[in-house]
Amino acid sequence: MVVDSKFRWGELEEDEEGDFLNLFLPPPMVTGPDENGIKKRIEYKLNEDGQKVKVTTTTRTRKLAKARLSKNAVERRSWAKFGDAIHEDVGARLTMVSNEEILLERPRAPVSKRVFAKFTTVTNPIDIRYRDLQSPIPSTVLPRKSNPGPRFATVACAKDLTEVKSGKGSVFRVLAGRSVVVAFEEGVGTRDLGIEVGELIGSKAEESTGDGLSTIGKGAVLMVCRTCGKKGDHWTSRCPYKDLAQPPEFFEDKPPATPSDTAAASVPVKGGAYVPPNKKAGSSSSGGQEMRRRNDENSVRVTNLSEDTREPDLHELFRTFGTVTRVYVAVDQKTGMSRGFGFVNFLNKEDAERAINKLNGYGYDNLILRVEWATPRAN
């Protein structure tokens, strides 16, 4: 690298002998502060042995945070405590940072009066059809107690459904292919959420409109399951442990069911609607909900169980195939022995299918298991 500055050999003074070699060195370069505030300065020197040395100095320049407090405020900071605060120990329980992150939750749709209803889906319906929602949906769906407010419909959706828009004022949005949020305008401005799924009405999967729904965007809502208390994972109706805590107040005409509810299988659904004969005892103890009925299509009947087989055994045996939502083993109350059969409900139908294929004929505790679909028509 040639030095730019013009110089004349002859004019160099004698005692700068050592220094003139410096003139062969490139001039120092400074790369100014970039977006991180880093500034680099590259210099070249000669060390004692006369070798060229490159020195890189990296500095980070930072803007000091503006002092927030005025002079008086700083002075006030040093005031003595008075009143009740005199005897306070530092770090007392009075002032504490919240454990929870609180968000400024944006409203879902940019409509001022809006009623929300959130539903859970059924797992594998083939298609969904929806009614054109020109008029408010009558509450045939679920007998909602006395609350005249929101009328809504439950919708089951296929996994890959993204967005669907229905008629006037109603919007369906599918979250992650699993659940549907129905938002529609209602004179009453109440917001009711968390309604369990009832009757099935749906819509064609492909129908989707871009406008209107894009404005919904991502709701800043935290998914919390009331059954297991886990946040952010699933809504209550999608809880894998859904039969553990049945909210009975949603349904007037159904007796609150417990997981061990057995023989009285003919639980009326939705105020006397037709219950198809595939409602078997034990197949779904919560009985009768449309959504649970869907789950019962993933129900597997296991027969020829040995007499000391119980629920945990079945659970352990079947869980390798997928998430098991519930297990039931018929037990003779008098003898305490298994009556030889039981039911296993899977979250996904494919898991149930695999379980059937693998475990049918499997030898378990000295007996050969028979594993089949609980409902005769499980295509």
Partner 1 sequence: MRPILMKGHERPLTFLKYNREGDLLFSCAKDHNPTVWFADNGERLGTYKGHNGTVWCCDVSRDSTRLITGSADATVKLWNVKSDSALFTFKFDAPARSVDFSVGDKLAVITTDPFMELQSSIQVKRIARDSSEQTGESVLTIKGPEGRISRAVWGPLNKTIISAGEDAVIRIWDSETGKLLKESDKETGHQNPVTSLSKSADGSYFLTGSLDKSARLWDIRTLTLIKTYVTERPVNAGAISPLLDHVVIGGGQDALHVTMTGHRAGKFEAKFFHKILQEEIGGVKGHFGPINALAFNPDGRSFTSGGEDGYIRLHHFDSDYFNIKM
Q: Provide, rounded to whole angstroms, the least separation between the CB of residue 172 and partner 1.
A: 17
What's the min distance (Å) between Cβ of 370 and partner 1? 42
User: Which C-beta is closer to partner 1: that of 189 or that of 336?
Assistant: 189
**Residue placing its CB nearer to partner 1 in the complex, 103 or 126:** 103
Nearer to partner 1, 154 or 345 (CB): 154
* Angle at which helices 311-318 and 349-359 cross, to 10°: 100
- Residue 232, SS3? coil
| Residues 42/29, Cβ–Cβ less than 8 Å | yes
DSSP β-bridge partners for residue 184: 115, 170
Closer residue to partner 1 in complex, CB, 195/371: 195
Closer residue to partner 1, CB minimum distance, 227 or 309? 227
> Minimum CB separation from partner 1 for residue 264, in Å?
30
Q: Any idea which residue has 């100095």 for tokens? A: 57
Q: What's the burial of 239, exposed, middle or buried (CB within 10 Å: 0-12/13-18/19+)?
A: buried
Cβ 97 vs Cβ 266: under 8 Å: no
Shortest distance, position 250 Cβ to partner 1, whole Å: 10
9-46: b or e for each residue (b if 16 or more CB lie within 10 Å)?
Answer: eeeeeeeeeeeeeeeebeeeeeeeeeeeeeeeeeebee
**Closer residue to partner 1 (CB): 232 or 276:** 232
Structure tokens at 225: 């399951």
88: part of which helix (H) or strand (E)? none
Q: How far is the CB of 77 from partner 1 (least distance, A)?
A: 7
CB atoms under 10 Å from CB of 327, counted, come to 23
Amino acid at 178: R
Cβ 78 to partner 1 shortest distance, Å: 11
Question: Hey, what are 155's tokens?
Answer: 């919708």
The residue (of 73 and 273) whose beta carbon lies closer to partner 1 is 73
- Partnered with residue 40 across adjacent β-strands are 31, 58
Residue 146 CA to residue 148 CA, distance in Å, equals 6
Q: C-beta of 82: minimal distance to partner 1 in Å?
A: 4
Positions touching partner 1 (CB under 8 A) are 68-70, 72-73, 76-77, 79, 81-86, 88, 93-107, 110, 112, 118, 189-194, 220-224, 226, 231, 235-236
